């Protein structure tokens, strides 16, 4: 996600830009492992009477708009019940999003190199001289003035010599690998009625889906303890689902593996084996226990398990739990965010915290910026900054800053932050929350 926004921003800012991705599509686990872009708004339902505030705009909103134009999105949908965790849902159909990303990048003049992985970084004293990449054409050396690491695990920054933290099983901050999939051929109305009757629905939302005329189920979360017998294996750890199309859950998030080391290939292999087996067990639970699921089947699983944390890159500033929960602001902030994916922590008074530009600059490196889930060492701050909408915000800032640094032939740390903020604001980024009148859908 961060890479898409970074490349579009850099290309639009006049920089000759190349985006490299190991997959044959764009968006990474942010789109193949999820459909909900959390979140463009504050969590206003966590504080009764709080005003709804828009926090995210810019390229992130352009992607949502383009997906809608292509017939694969719902815009921003109000959570009807259970909105004290996430009050607004922004969900997109994955294949449509991939097309939208390709279109916006092409329009920005960005070159693409897919099916390509980073193999080596050639650097001197924290300055990247070039990167060796590998693909089916062989090994190539690429050179640039500025580099933006959006690898998720901070591979480029780490190979250049940046300081970082890693997290093994049992370490504070270690995270599990998740796995998502589609569940198809569901009578959604019958399923919703049965689940409501049994009192297991914790979160729910409806909207008119592409090609439909009447509102249909688009979001549901369940109390899984009431779906599984007390003496049975706990197949479901939790359950969140989004539905973009008729008769399917486009995205089911309900199983994890770990915590484990996100840089351990053997652990990631074991995660794949375990999670792909458990995906079928989940389908069997619903077939046996819930009306409307009698003929359901698994389809469209994520291409790989989603390891939520590998490395955390040490940067010039590192957001803390207190920064997030106390809604701290910064002179150099390049955006705001307000969702913490941890039900024990919330931003004070349904507010938002600022994201300082310094949090994107790795310590000791002079031509590298980062954006994405390797940002910040603090666990609770990571619970927030790793989310998709925040990654898009940080990506746009990093891409804009890298272009300014390249044009001015300077280091990212020397970029004029006032000029950067003015450029981001002109490009639709929200540097402060904006009041957004409360409507069902907008």
Over residues 237-289, the pLDDT tens digits come to 999 999 999 999 999 999 999 999 999 999 999 999 999 999 999 999 999 99
pLDDT at 440 over 50: no
Round to whole Å and give the CA distance between 366 and 88.
39
- 124-132 contact pairs (CB < 8 A, 24+): 126/160, 126/161, 126/162, 126/364, 126/365, 126/366, 127/365, 127/366, 127/367, 128/156, 128/160, 128/365, 128/367, 128/368, 131/156
Position 439 scores a pLDDT of 55
Residue range 374-386: mean pLDDT, rounded: 96
Pick the more confident residue, 32 or 291. 291
pLDDT at 366 over 70: yes
pLDDT at 300 over 90: no
Count how many residues are written for the chain. Answer: 442
**What is the per-residue pLDDT across 154-203, written as a single tens digit (0 to 9) for each?**
999 999 999 999 999 989 889 899 999 999 999 999 999 999 999 999 99
Residue range 123-148: mean pLDDT, rounded: 98
Position 441 scores a pLDDT of 44
pLDDT at 118 over 70: yes
- 273-278 contact pairs (CB < 8 A, 24+): 275/177, 275/179, 275/305, 276/179, 276/301, 278/179, 278/235
What's the CATH code, domain 2-167+310-435? 3.50.50.60
- The neighbouring-strand residues paired with 54 are 41, 434
On whether the CB atoms of residues 260 and 271 are closer than 8 A, the answer is yes
pLDDT at 36 over 60: yes
Task: Determine if the pTM surpasses 0.85.
Answer: yes
Please give the share of the chain, as a percent, with pLDDT higher than 90. 91
Position 232 scores a pLDDT of 80
CA distances from 12 to 20, 97, 206, 417 (A): 17, 20, 36, 18
Numbered ranges of CATH 3.50.50.60 in the chain? 2-167+310-435
pLDDT at 442 over 50: no
What's the chain's average pLDDT?
A: 95
Nearest C-alpha neighbor of 32 from the set 116, 92, 79: 92
């Amino acid at each position: 996600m961060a890479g898409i926004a970074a490349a579009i921003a850099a290309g639009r800012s006049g920089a000759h830009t190349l985006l490299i991705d190991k997959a044959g599509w764009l968006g990474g686990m942010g789109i193949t492992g999820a459909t909900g872009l959390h979140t463009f708004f504050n969590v206003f339902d966590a504080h009764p009477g709080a005003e709804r505030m828009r926090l995210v705009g810019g390229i992130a909103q352009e992607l949502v708009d383009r997906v809608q134009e292509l017939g694969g999105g719902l815009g921003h949908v109000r959570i009807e019940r259970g909105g004290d965790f996430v009050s607004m849902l922004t969900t997109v159909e994955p294949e449509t999003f991939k097309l939208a990303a390709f279109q916006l990048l092409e329009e920005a003049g960005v070159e693409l190199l897919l099916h390509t992985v980073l193999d080596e970084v050639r650097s001197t004293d924290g300055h990247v001289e070039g990167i060796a990449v590998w693909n089916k054409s062989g090994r190539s050396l690429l050179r640039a003035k500025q580099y933006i690491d959006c690898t998720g695990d901070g591979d480029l920054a780490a190979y250049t010599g940046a300081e970082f933290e890693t997290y093994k099983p049992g370490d504070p901050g270690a995270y599990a690998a998740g796995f998502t999939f589609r569940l198809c051929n569901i009578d959604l109305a019958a399923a919703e009625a049965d689940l409501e009757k049994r009192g297991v629905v914790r979160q729910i939302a409806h909207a008119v889906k592409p090609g439909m005329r009447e509102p249909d189920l688009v979001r549901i979360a369940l109390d899984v303890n009431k779906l599984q017998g007390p003496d049975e294996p706990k197949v479901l750890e939790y359950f969140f689902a989004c539905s973009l199309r008729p008769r399917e859950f486009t995205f089911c998030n309900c199983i994890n593996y770990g915590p484990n080391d996100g840089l351990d290939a053997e652990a990631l292999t074991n995660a794949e084996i375990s999670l792909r087996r458990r995906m079928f067990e989940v389908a069997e639970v619903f077939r046996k226990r819930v009306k409307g699921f009698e003929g359901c089947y698994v389809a469209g699983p994520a291409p790989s398990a989603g390891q939520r944390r590998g490395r955390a890159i040490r940067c010039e500033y590192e957001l803390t739990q207190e920064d997030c929960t106390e809604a701290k602001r910064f002179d150099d902030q390049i955006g705001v965010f307000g969702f913490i994916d941890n039900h024990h922590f919330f931003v004070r008074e349904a507010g938002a915290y600022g994201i300082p530009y310094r949090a994107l600059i790795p310590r000791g490196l002079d031509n590298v910026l980062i954006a994405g889930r390797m940002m910040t060492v603090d666990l609770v701050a990571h619970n927030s900054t790793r989310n998709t909408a925040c990654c898009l915000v940080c990506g746009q800032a990093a891409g804009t800053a890298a272009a300014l640094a390249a044009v001015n032939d300077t280091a990212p740390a020397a970029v004029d932050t006032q000029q950067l903020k003015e450029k981001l604001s002109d490009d639709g980024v929200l540097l402060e929350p904006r009041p957004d009148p409360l409507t069902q859908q907008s």
